[in-house]
């Protein structure tokens, strides 16, 4: 069986402390969403410039059939700019 990997993509346009929170949430979500591997998965953290790049990355993963999850939320219910936080988590075994 190939070594399992979990990739977490986080936006660079977020404050560093928010990037840490988003990466942690993505890694935790991967543990809940994806089938547990036979061994401990290696975590690979990557960054993308902004929400558009994150969405494009998720679309590429979809096209290539790579299991992933894109999650996002508004920063606050009263934020009129509707700024969004987002993260993408994917899992793939090395070949």
CATH number of the domain encompassing residue 19 = 3.40.1490.10
**Does residue 29 lie in a domain region?**
yes
Element at 18 (helix H, strand E): helix 16-33
- Over the chain (95 residues), the average pLDDT of each successive run of 10 is 84 91 86 82 90 90 86 47 48 54
What pLDDT, on a 0 to 100 scale, did the predictor assign at position 86? Answer: 52
How far apart CA 48 and CA 46 sit, in angstroms, is: 7
pTM over 0.85: no
Q: What domain count does the chain have?
A: 1
The pLDDT of residue 39 is: 86
- pLDDT, residue 74, reads 46
Beta-carbon contacts of 49 under 8 Å, excluding residues fewer than 6 positions away, are 11, 12, 13
pLDDT value of position 47:
92
Host domain of residue 31 = 4-72+83-93
**φ, ψ dihedrals at 24, nearest 5°:** -65, -45
């Amino acid at each position: 069986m190939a070594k399992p990997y979990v990739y977490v993509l986080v936006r660079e346009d977020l404050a560093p402390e928010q990037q840490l929170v988003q990466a942690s949430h993505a890694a935790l979500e991967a543990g809940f969403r994806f089938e547990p591997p036979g061994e401990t998965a290696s975590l690979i953290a990557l960054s993308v410039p902004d929400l558009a790049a994150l969405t494009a990355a998720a679309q590429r993963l979809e096209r290539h059939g790579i299991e992933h999850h894109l999650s996002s939320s508004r920063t606050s219910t009263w934020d009129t700019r509707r700024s969004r936080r987002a993260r993408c988590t994917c899992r793939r075994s090395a070949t």
